[in-house]
Structure 1
Amino acid sequence: MTEVSLPAGWKETSLENLIAFALGGDWGKDESFDDPDYVAVRCIRASEIKRWEEEKGQTAALRKIKKSSLEKRALIEGDILVEISGGGPEQPVGRTVLIDKAALSQHPGVEKVCTNFFRLIRPSSMVYPKYLSYFLHSFYKSGKISDYQGGSNNLRNLKFKDYVTITVPLPPIDEQKGIVAKIETLFSELDKGIESLKTARQQLKAYRQAVLKHAFEGKLTKQWRQQNPDKLESPEQLLARIQQEREQCYQQKFEEWKRAIKAWEGSGKEGKKPSKPKKIKEISTLDSEVLSSLPETPPGWMWGKLGLMTCGVEYGTSAKSSGVGDVPVVRMGNLRGGIIDWSDLVFTSDKEEIDKYSLQEGDVLFNRTNSPELVGKTAIYKGEQEALFAGYLIRVNHIPSIVDGRYLNYFLNSLIAKGYGNTVKTDGVNQSNINGEKLQGYPFPFCSLDEQVEIVTVLDEKLSTAEKTLEEIGAQLDKAGALRQSILKKAFSGKFLPKYRQEQ
């Protein structure tokens, strides 16, 4: 039953009673398949849902299915597709889309079907398709859909037989159409506001990248260099100092290892034997093609490979985490906008893992595996709380006497770094990867530590207001999403059209 009493003339019925026809999809054969009994179609997949309102299935795959299958599965205006299968525990099975004229007009002359990850439902004459589509979307967004999901952590599915038992509030058909018209009017006004917020967000992001570009071209500190000529080095002096710092870093780690070995032997070789540090790798120079694509550097700067600033990068813990434990584990989802988001954490109590992978203030983390658009995102650990880092992240292990971690973090979030990452990432199914070796090959603008600190100071000052505004825009967009759901909730409780009902 619904949570509120319904207006006069409304009734409640199950979704099943409102379906005239329901059928699974058909993925068919590859478009090159040759058989006279098969015909070319456009097959709507789950990936099309992400941008459905903008694209209406423009990217639907070209496939071939049997003519007899097409007779049953060809989509018509008013059909609703319900996603019934997907991967992972958070996969949003239960999303719905309405097939309207705009969707059917894509790829003229070619029939549309849906993949077998959907269930096609065709509404009966009792219900206006748009009304039912909005209701099912509202039901999904309410979170109640989780009660109708099943399967394993690797493959989630919608328990369709249970799903069709959900209760739908049903006014007379004319009132359904009136409610849809009101929803669309309010959504249109809301969308205008959202579009303005998104435009402002894009402008701020463009400003941010323009400032970062100037920073790593040396333009933000031109005056500083003029006032501090004694703090500048030639590229040759800079490189020699970097090599010396790397060697000292290795020697320090080697001495620490020898002391750890003595302590381990003194304790009767209890526990795991300390690992000997690897000798520092010789880092080659950037090739001419990469150099030619980079901005010119001012006096006292040089482009080199990122690996010059480190004794070696490090992958995080692969041990299993849980919802409770002694120390939080920072995962790829916790890297947001160059900082660590401390919400949605998992934990570990494994002392050995904590000792090995604990973060130190100033550590820079790089996301090595993620979706193509998110791989390579970076954040700096500011010592907010004790934590370690997970296996899909890389700790750069930069040498502080060569590079300020804040400078490194800013650079890795710039378009220069992201652009290079796009040229070296390895793409797989739905995700990309940039391993530690490729990360060490990134081009990096080396300059004196004093100038790096000055650059960070200027960037913090110029970007702090923009960052705050971006946060405010994000909060407003979240509110807009909640308002959309509030509109739908009111619509299906009969609060939209009291005047309409009185006039009838």
Structure 2
Amino acid sequence: MTELPATWANAKFSDFGTWIGGGTPSKANPRFWNGPIPWVSPKDMKTKVIRKAIDGITEEAVENSAAKLVPAGSVLIVTRSGILAHTLPIAVTAVESTLNQDLKALALPDGIGSEYIAWGMRAFEQRILDKCRKGGTTVHSIEMPRLASFELPIAPTNEQRRIVEKIEAMFDEIDKGVESLQTARTTLGLYRQSLLKSAFEGRLTADWRAQNADKLGTPETLLARIRHERDTRYKTALDTWQDALAKWRADGEKGKKPAKPKRPTTFPDQLQNLRIELPDLPHGWTWAHLGLCSSGPEYGTAAKSADTGAVPVIRMGNLQRGRIDWGNLAFTSDPDEIEQYSLKPGDVLFNRTNSPELVGKTSIYKGERPALFAGYLVRVNQIEEITSGPYLTYFLNSPIASEHGKTVKTDGVNQSNINASKLQEYPFPYCSSAEQAEIVRILDEKLEAADALEAEIDAALTRADALRQSILKKAFSGQLVPQD
């Protein structure tokens, strides 16, 4: 530990003042509630200074329950909550208040500044959690005897005031910078969505079309080519199946009988029952069902995965902004599962069920490592000759697809769902393969630049957190302000 100035001393929390616990007046007695006295609970501890609380109680409640009055200027600390797994909420109450049983208050004598003690607790937050926290299954708690014996460096009273003033001035400057960085981060998110919207309205490649007019056809020609490609693939699959079936019979029908390929789903020429207004498309483009570019979507494995195993199983949480996040993986070693659900490079995965804001998230698997996909995901099985995986992935993450998804999802108690049939009926903007490639090229370039800028913002936010910790460390080792 850093040596303290000669005028400082280490003191235990048990030496500072009086600890006051909380209590809950009977909810069955209406005379106890909706009164003028703040009744602070963990949900109020999101600010550094408490001036009011969500709930209030009456003087009668204080007189006839376990709730005790806490004097203004006391330091409040959450001592029981799931948030203690990573954070220690601390505040100073500016008004006389009461607490629920998940908080404790430290009422301080003259000569010890409450703001100083609160900042000291924040400076040693992680150390307090490490030494005083008792873990539970879902709720953690602070063991008060351990907290009472925890030591904090104490400066002379006048220096306490100067330290607090310096900390708050420096933190205000950092907060302004952080606010600007967070605004820039939000703006980047809006920029990404604007790019995707422009891409699938044809505006992103307007110059390309002007220079490549000879590569553009009519919507009728484009749809005819798509249907021809689907028919050709089906006929090829039938021929392959018939050859495999003949060989299977010639071998005495040993092993599994080859499965006959399914006939491609037919879709009407016109999109039906749309609840959103689709943008007009440029010459050479057309809206049609997404299912036209798929050989038939399929769900992933429903088998239970494990923390370890031979092959990772991609789950909904691994779909992040169009890419696969390889952190927090689950695994399987089942050979049948691996054979049936292994991913191929270029596979597009669609998240079909989760909370409403997460349904429809889509990412592309690029073959980074062998992997399977879980049952909550749909493999689109796009036909590459009709549409590329990156083009499809970008569209399904676009504002147009998101807006449509909100109109067709089925809402349950805690989650929403978009099944494979509804996915095939999505409106999809078809254009030539050459223009798809140009759209993907432009989006890759611009979004990679946005990702790089976001990484710089995140690094700056990390530095801001580190700077706060550095300031607190200096403050409580006597190095932030002079000792005069």
Regarding TM over 0.5, the answer is yes
Residue 493 of structure 1 and its aligned partner are, at CA, apart by 2.9
**Matched position secondary structure for 2:349:** strand
Distance 2:383 2:49 in 1: 47
Deviation at 1:181, TM superposition (A): 1.8
Which runs of 5 or more residues in structure 2 are unaligned?
Answer: none
1:394 and 1:18 map into 2 onto residues whose CA distance is 60
What is the distance in 2 between the residues matched to 1:392 and 1:54? Answer: 41
Paired residue for 2:82? 86
SS at match of 1:296: coil
How many Å separate the matches in 2 of 1:295 and 1:373?
Answer: 23
Secondary structure of 1:225's match? helix
Alignment partner of 1:158 out of 123, 138, 141: 141
Q: Return the match for 1:192 from 169, 176, 182.
A: 176
Query: Quick check: 2:49–2:92 contact (8 Å CA) kept in 1?
Result: no
Q: How many residues align?
A: 472
2:88 to 88, 95, 100: 95
* Shift in alpha-carbon separation, 1:375–1:158, aligned structure 2, 3 A: farther
| Amino acid aligned to 1:150 | G
> Which of 60, 68, 73 is equivalent to 1:72?
68
Q: Equivalent residue for 1:177?
A: 161
Contact 1:13 1:170 in 2 (8 A): yes
Distance 1:220 1:129, change over 3 A: same
Change in CA separation of 1:183 and 1:275 when aligned onto 2, cut-off 3 Å: farther
**Quick check: 1:425–1:432 contact (8 Å CA) kept in 2?**
no
Shift of 1:205: 3.2
**What is the deviation of 1:398?**
2.6
d(CA) in 2 for partners of 1:303 and 1:55? 55
Residue in structure 1 matched with residue 381 of structure 2 by the alignment: 397
Task: Classify the secondary structure of the residue corresponding to 1:379.
Answer: strand
1:319 matched to 2:319? The reply is no
In structure 2, give the amino acid aligned to 1:80.
L
CA shift digits 1:452-481 (9 cap, x unpaired): 111111222333323222222222222222
Quote the sequence identity (%): 42
- 1:12 counterpart letter in structure 2: N
Cα distance, 1:9 vs structure 2: 3.7
Are 2:9 and 1:11 equivalent residues in the alignment? yes
Tell me how far apart the structure 1 counterparts of residues 220 and 128 of structure 2 sit (CA, whole Å): 61
- Contact conserved, 1:314 with 1:436, CA < 8 A, in 2? no
Q: Secondary structure at the match of 2:447?
A: helix
- What is the Cα deviation at residue 418 of structure 1? 3.2
Tell me the equivalent position of 1:107: none
Q: Which residue identity is paired with 1:302? A: T
Letter in 2 for 1:5: E
Q: What amino acid maps onto 2:442 in structure 1?
A: V
Shift of 1:215: 1.0
Map of 1:422-501 to 2, 5 A cutoff?
422-423=406-407, 432-437=415-420, 439-497=423-481, 499=482, 501=483
1:243-262 alignment runs, 5 A limit: 243=227, 245=229
1:274 Cα deviation from its structure 2 partner: 9.2
**Distance (whole Å) between structure 1 residues aligned to residue 240 and residue 98 of structure 2:** 65
Q: Does the CA-based 8 Å contact 1:249-1:399 persist in structure 2?
A: no
CA contact (8 A) 1:321 1:346 kept: yes
Give the TM-score normalised by structure 1: 0.75
**How far apart are the structure 1 equivalents of 2:342 and 2:178?**
41
Q: For the pair shown, which has the larger CA radius of gyration, 1 or 2?
A: 2
What stretches of structure 1 of length at least 5 have no aligned partner? 105-110
CA, structure 1 residues 357+288, in 2 after alignment: closer, same or farther (shift >3 Å)? closer
| C-alpha contact 1:93 1:158 (8 A) present in aligned 2 | no
User: Cα 1:62–1:53, aligned 2, differ >3 Å: closer, same or farther?
Assistant: closer
* CA distance 1:158–1:222, change in 2 (3 Å): same
Report if aligned partners of 1:340, 1:380 keep a CA contact under 8 Å in 2: yes
Residue 137 of structure 1 corresponds to 122
The 3 A distance-change label for structure 1 pair 326 and 163 is farther
Offset of 1:268 from its aligned partner?
A: 6.1
Quick check: 18-27 or 40-49, which moved more? Answer: 40-49
CA contact (8 A) 2:322 2:393 kept: yes
SS in 2 for 1:196: helix
Instruction: Give, in whole Å, the separation in 1 of the partners of 2:161 and 2:127.
Output: 22
